[in-house]
């Protein structure tokens, strides 16, 4: 941030002027261009810091460290290897709780971290870009950008994958980066373009590199990063173009973006909320399942068109083992929401449990017709066809699933089973080995591999596979 060339006062970051408003009027008065009694703007004297030496960046960093220390204390361990239950207890963002009404998790998750490396990397980033953002925007705009983009990142996370347990400041940090990138690209500064372009290039590089690295690492919640970055870009662009000064327009811009994020949250709740609300009311209430069923039935009596209630009731019946009643409820869901992929997938799985492969085939076929990229739909259709001894059709569906996700768990194993049924033992052996390579080994897989070797006449390999299957089975029982 530049200073006035005459008096040294700090200039607004979004300004091409070289001298402050006070000096502009003072120089005009000396030239006799304004009256002597003209009102002089009240501006702070040069070199006087009005804010305390401790900035918000240090405060936010301190909060993160204190909470991390509290998690270490609660875990009775200094290793930093926290259990999922502990992280959820402290306020992690996960669809089953957040979408069930615990919206405060969209704030708390950004102050939690999953280990020493996680918090160290995020706090290093916060220290560097946090100070820059705070000096550019001022304290209150900075904290608004941090929190709003952090919430947007959390919503993007539960929208993309509600089952992911998300913690960390990275969503807010990507929001800060996005806001800075937009502001440096679109704002008007009193500095020369050389340092501005240098900072802008660095921010773009780090944002791009971090997203690329996140896409290669399955443990990183890149959806949260993208949500924070996009919301930050929008917020930073609006501030730079509409509200470069800290005034009512700045407040209005922040309020509008906050409202848009809230509207996005409502949309996510309607899109993803029903299955996750079921998880709270059904799966996590097995000891009171009869009470859960009664509550849901009463809810349906009051609102017969409530698809989420029918969906929850279906799974409550499944939890109790009542699959016929569960399928009835899923059919009702699909009457109300024909495009509900989760309900159709569950309906097909329920038919498989009821040993009705023909009905399961119809459900899965409809699903893949609606969504050809649905891996689980193709796998389900393959299972239904295999149950009807249509092994060639099953192989086709398994291969379709693997084209979408080459490492889908268990699909190569099922592919090998169908290939073995058609006596294509070389193909079956190759599929079993691929399953072991992608997803690890177990006794069931080694037993299937032994049978294929035996059928092929590879007796030594078959004996080795059976021995390994026995060892794996014994180790699992210990």
DSSP assigned state of 129:
I
Q: Both tokens of residue 311?
A: 């969906």
C-alpha distances in angstroms, 207 versus 128, 218, 231, 466? 14, 18, 14, 50
CATH of domain 58-271: 1.20.1540.10
Please report the DSSP string for 10-70 in residue order. BPPSS---SS-HHHHHHHHHHTT-S-TTPPPP--PPTT---S-SS-HHHHHHHHHHHHHHH
Provide the CATH number for the domain formed by 417-478 in this structure: 1.25.40
Provide φ and ψ at 93, rounded to 5°.
-95, 115
Contact yes or no for 11/3 (Cβ under 8 A):
yes
pTM beyond 0.75: no
**Residue 268: how many CB atoms within 10 A of its CB?**
21
Query: What pLDDT score does 273 carry?
Result: 57
Return the structure tokens found at 68.
Answer: 């991390």
pLDDT averaged per 10 residues in sequence order, the chain, 478 residues: 60 56 70 62 44 77 94 82 79 81 90 90 90 85 94 90 81 92 76 62 81 73 90 92 82 92 86 55 53 81 84 84 92 89 90 93 93 90 95 94 88 94 94 88 89 91 89 68
Amino acid 175: pLDDT:
93
Distance (Å, rounded) from C-alpha 91 to C-alpha 113? 11
pLDDT tens, position by position, 140-179:
999 999 999 999 999 998 888 776 778 989 999 999 999 9
Residue pair 168/225 in contact (Cβ under 8 Å)? The answer is no
**What is the pLDDT, as a whole number, of residue 23?**
73
CA 72 to chain centroid, in Å, comes to 25
Can you give the residue ranges of every domain in the chain?
1-50, 58-271, 417-478
| DSSP assignment string, 200-269 | HHHHHHHHHHHHHHHHH-TTS-HHHHHHHHHHHHHHHHHHHHH--SSSHHHHHHHHHHHHHHHHHHHHHH
Q: What is the pLDDT of residue 46?
A: 43
Give the 3-state secondary structure of residue 93.
Answer: strand
Q: What pLDDT, on the 0 to 100 scale, is given for residue 145?
A: 94
pLDDT of residue 41: 52
Task: Provide the pLDDT for residue 218.
Answer: 62
């Amino acid at each position: 941030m530049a200073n006035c060339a005459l008096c040294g006062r700090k200039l607004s970051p979004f300004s091409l002027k070289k001298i402050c408003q006070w000096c502009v009027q003072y120089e005009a008065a000396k030239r006799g261009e304004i009256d002597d009694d003209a009102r002089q703007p009240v501006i702070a004297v040069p070199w006087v810091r009005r804010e305390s030496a401790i900035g918000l960046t240090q405060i936010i960093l301190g909060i993160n460290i204190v909470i991390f220390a509290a998690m270490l204390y609660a875990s009775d361990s200094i290793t930093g290897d926290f259990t999922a239950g502990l992280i959820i207890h402290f306020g992690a963002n996960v669809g089953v709780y957040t979408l069930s009404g615990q919206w405060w998790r969209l704030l708390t998750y950004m102050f939690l971290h999953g280990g020493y490396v996680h918090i160290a990397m995020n706090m290093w980033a916060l220290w560097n870009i946090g100070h820059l953002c705070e000096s550019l925007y001022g304290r209150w705009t900075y904290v608004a950008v941090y929190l709003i983009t952090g919430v947007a990142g959390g919503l993007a996370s539960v929208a993309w994958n509600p089952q992911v347990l998300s913690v960390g400041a990275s969503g807010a940090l990507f929001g800060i980066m996005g806001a800075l990138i937009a502001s440096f690209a679109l704002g008007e500064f009193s500095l020369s373009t050389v340092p501005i372009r240098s900072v802008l290039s660095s921010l773009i590089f780090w944002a791009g590199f971090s997203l690329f690295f996140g896409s290669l690492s399955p443990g990183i919640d890149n959806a949260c990063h993208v949500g924070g970055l996009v919301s930050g870009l929008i917020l930073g662009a609006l501030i730079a173009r509409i509200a470069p000064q800290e005034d009512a327009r700045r407040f209005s811009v922040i309020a509008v973006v906050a409202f848009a994020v809230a509207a996005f949250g409502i949309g996510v709740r309607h899109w993803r909320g029903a299955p996750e609300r079921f998880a709270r009311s059904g799966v996590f209430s097995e000891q009171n399942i009869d009470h859960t069923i009664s509550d849901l039935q009463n809810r349906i009596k009051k609102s017969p068109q409530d698809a989420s209630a029918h969906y929850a009731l279906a799974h409550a019946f499944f939890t109790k083992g009542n699959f016929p009643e569960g399928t009835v409820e899923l059919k009702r869901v699909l009457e109300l929401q024909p495009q509900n992929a989760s309900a159709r997938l569950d309906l097909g799985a329920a038919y498989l449990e009821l040993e009705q492969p023909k009905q399961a085939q119809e459900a899965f076929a409809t699903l893949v017709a609606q969504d050809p990229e649905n891996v689980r739909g193709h796998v389900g259709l393959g299972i239904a066809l295999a149950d009807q001894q249509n092994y060639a059709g099953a192989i086709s569906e398994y291969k379709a699933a693997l084209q979408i996700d080459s490492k889908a768990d268990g699909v190569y194993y099922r592919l090998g089973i169908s290939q073995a049924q058609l006596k294509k033992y070389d193909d079956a052996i190759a599929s079993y080995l691929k399953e072991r390579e992608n997803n690890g080994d177990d006794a069931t897989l080694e037993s299937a591999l032994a049978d294929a070797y035996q059928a092929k006449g590879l007796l030594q390999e078959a004996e080795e596979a059976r021995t390994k299957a026995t060892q794996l089975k014994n180790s699992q029982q210990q």
